[in-house]
Chains A and B, each alone.
Chain A
Amino acid sequence: MQRIGVFVCWCGSNIAGTVDVVKVAEALKNEPGVVHSANYQYMCSQAGQELIKQAIKEHNLTGIVVCSCSPRMHEQTFRKTAAAAGLNPYMVEIANIREQCSWIHKDMAEGTEKAIVLGRTAIAKVNLNAPLTPGESPVTKRALVIGGGIAGIQTALDIADAGFEVDIVEKKPTIGGKMAQIDKTFPTLDCAACILTPKMVDVAQHEKIKIYSYSEVVDVKGFVGNFDVTIKRKARYVKEDVCTGCGLCTEKCPMKKVPNDFNLGMDNKRAIYIPFAQAVPKVATIDADYCNMLKNGKCGVCAKVCTANAIDYTQKDEFVEEKYGAIVAATGFNPISMDKFDEYAYSQSKDVITSLEFERLMNAAGPTAGKLLRPSDGKHPHTLVFVQCVGSRCASCAEKGKEYCSKICCMYTAKHAMLTRDKYPDTDVYVFYIDVRTPGKQFDEFYRRAVEEYGVHYIKGMVGKVSPEGEKLIVQGSDLIANKQLKIEADLVVLAAAIEPDKSARPLATMLTASMDTNDFFTEAHPKLRPVESPTAGVFLSGACQGPKDFPETVSQAGAAASKVIGLLSKDKLTGNPCVAHSDEMMCNGCSSCEKVCPYGAITYADKEFRGPNRTTLIRRVAQVNEAICQGCGCCTVACPSGAMDLKGFASKQIMAEVDAICK
């Protein structure tokens, strides 16, 4: 039998205003197991906690019930109080008589009556509580960052600067991500490469950072502090540690017609290539789909010209297994496909491009060396039309686009329009918009400059159709303010395509058991208070994989994720949550029902020896819960047909005792 102490808090007048606390304390005195009952003005105060500690010692209490505010508020406080008095912290239960009683009821009699029932319920539960001890697990002091864009780079640098080892896994041959493709950044018009490439060099030179480029994560096992990750290093047919990045092979390769994905297919590269001049690692990669030597065994020019002997046509995919304490997802974004937006004639005309393609056209390292030329005929365009929200804020057309606002398009379009007018004052620039959204430091000023100083024509309304006619693109749209239909003969149409999470994010989330929203953005542990953590312990979020973001936001989130990782890796041991599932091996029949519903893969099976009849030994397959992985949802307890599975701290018997107490 437990020896229970009940402590009723007044919370000043918050509780005492509508609940007769003295009466509650008096009534609960007679409940089974209760040996002590007290009330006090503020239980959470120093004096209140002392009162509890003294009572625990004086009355030899084995469990306590605090009738106070929500357990979400002070459960930890009272658990610490109990622990300080030598009582197991999990022998504490809270009856929520503030948020769920005194604050919602006005009648004293009604409030008091309900508070007594809630107290009785907590007492019924604590009668069946058992002391719990959280397990401890060691921490591998090493982090994995998945994705080598600006988010991944910044996270890795910040973690490494704190003295922890970091590995970056990037699926492309170089780190740098989207930022490397971008020309200028809003609202300062900094050159993106000038601020990104020094960071890429820092990553390459940092002794604590290792880059797995042209690699993918293919398997994740384990749990916070102890992840086992398998990384696939795709064959690049060039020895990474031997190649000097001289680039001779990329000039001599005879396969000249390979679409250059770095320039979004607007020009060609060779079958052996280095994505761009500042690539990190600066190592050539062979595109196996186009290389004649790999396809037909005929050629071998690159091997002949390579003075470092770095070419290896026999290279195979390699699988590396590594251990990590924390994982950061920084998988980034992509513009959505324009396939379903044929009204804008993207597939019909080369002169209808997306904003990212426009970015490459304006970039000095791009396909036109920074000159604004039409992709179709290389002529200088005079009339440009920018179309906003292509696929964004598309609530009525969710099958085509996205319901959310992509956040960055208003600003980068203002930038594009401004830069075009700045470089080519002979151009006419039109922007069709639904709303111009400029919340951010210097954002609205920037947009106003585009309109007022640079004379960009902003038109509120949507474009209905773009049709190629001869050399021109006829843009039909509406001007909602002037209330008229417009027809513009344009030379170039730029579509602000919505952005979506990278396709690799969904399978990664499954591997990490990290949750995602309906748009495949990673979900935060708490949208306000834990924005860079995934609900899965040990998994953190950085950059646009969590939601659309511009560079400053991405960099600050990357730093925040890094600080959370550093906090985790600084610990020598992790204390788990002791309220985890537990299987009674005597009752378990090894049916696998629990394993199937477990979202964390915390349940494994083992063959155990049991004593059979007539001194025989039986071997039975039974479920075992890995307490470090189990998060304590309790889904398995309901799936278990034999009742072998139970949840510590929320045991079936405890919950039924609560039900009984309420229905009494």
Chain B
Amino acid sequence: MQVNEYKPKIVAFCCNWCSYAGADLAGSNRLSYPAEVKVIRVPCSCRVNPMFILRAFQRGADGVILCGCHPGDCHYTSGNYYTRRRMALLFSMLDYLGIEKERTRVEWVSAAEGAKFAATMNDFVQTVTALGENKRLEDLRCKK
């Protein structure tokens, strides 16, 4: 039987106050999720410029997930509301460009939700793995 060796590249942006702490909690509780997920710490989910996500796909990422505080709980009061709206627009544009909606996701993970972080990442990696490699926006010039 052929074993599927394909491992997707996943970039996860996590806000410093909730989701990054949630990711740390998943670690402290030894809740495993695939090593394909690599976290980038940002002060707030609203720091994530759509440009960063485009850049990730250009560089060959297979999925990008953005995690922030629950609506109403943003450390900076309203940052995640901006994130929600900006990403709704960006993701629908990416969908139009052929990046399936399943490859992009926004999740709210609080500092207390280590289990949710791990479960979300497991689910996301599974979804992206099923979709396979993303070649749509990959810029081959970057492969040099």
Contact = CB atoms under 8 A, between A and B. Distances in A.
Given A121-B38, A659-B40, A663-B9, A634 B75 contact: no
Contacts of A632: 43
A114 B76 contact: no
Interface stretch (A95-103, A289-297, A355-363, A497-505): A95-103
Interface string B57-80: 001110000000000111111110
Interface in B71-118: 72-79, 82, 86, 118
A106 B73 CA distance: 34
Interface in A97-138: 98-101, 103-106, 110-111, 113-114, 117-118, 121
Nearest to A114: B35
A609 to B, nearest CB: 30
Contact of B40 (A71, A121, A664): A121
A663 B86 CA distance: 23
A96 B39 contact: yes
A106 B39 contact: no
Contacts of B41: 71
Interface residues of B, number: 45
Given A114-B35, A647-B43, A535 B75 contact: yes
Contact of A103 (B28, B43, B49, B60): B28
The SS class assigned to the A binding surface is: helix
Contacts of A103: 27-28, 30
B44 A104 contact: no
B48 interface: yes
B32 interface: yes
B77 A99 contact: no
Nearest to A509: B77
Contacts of B24: 70, 72, 96, 99-100
B119 interface: no
A518 interface: yes
B33 A638 contact: no
Contacts of B47: 633-635, 637-638, 647, 650, 655
B55 A659 contact: yes
B46 A634 contact: yes
A312 interface: no
A638 B35 contact: no
Nearest to B11: A662
A663 B56 contact: yes
Nearest to B28: A99
A105 B32 contact: yes
A104 B122 CA distance: 12
A579 interface: yes
Interface string A506-541: 000000010101100001000000000001000000
A96 B12 CA distance: 14
A522 B50 CA distance: 32
B55 A633 contact: no
Given A98-B27, A104-B33, A663 B59 contact: yes
Contacts of B28: 99, 103
B130 interface: no
Between B16, B20, B38, B50, the greatest number of chain A beta carbons within 10 A of the residue's beta carbon is seen for B38
B23 interface: yes
A252 to B, nearest CB: 52
Nearest to A655: B52
Contacts of B82: 597, 635, 638-639
Contacts of A535: 75-77
Between A513, A523, A579, A635, the greatest number of chain B beta carbons within 10 A of the residue's beta carbon is seen for A635
Contacts of B61: 659, 662-663
Nearest to B32: A104
Contacts of A81: none
B125 interface: no
Contacts of B40: 121, 655, 658-659, 662
Nearest to A656: B55
26 contacts: A70-B20, A72-B24, A96-B39, A99-B26, A100-B24, A103-B27, A104-B26, A118-B38, A121-B38, A513-B77, A518-B72, A535-B75, A535-B77, A633-B75, A633-B76, A633-B79, A634-B42, A635-B44, A639-B82, A650-B43, A652-B51, A655-B52, A659-B55, A659-B61, A662-B56, A663-B59
Given A99-B26, A535-B77, A637-B47, 17 more contacts: A70-B24, A99-B27, A106-B32, A113-B35, A633-B46, A633-B47, A634-B44, A634-B46, A638-B48, A638-B49, A638-B82, A655-B42, A656-B52, A659-B11, A659-B56, A662-B11, A662-B61
- Kindly list the 4 A-B residue pairs having the minimum CB-CB distance in the complex, ordered from nearest: A99-B27, A634-B47, A663-B59, A633-B76
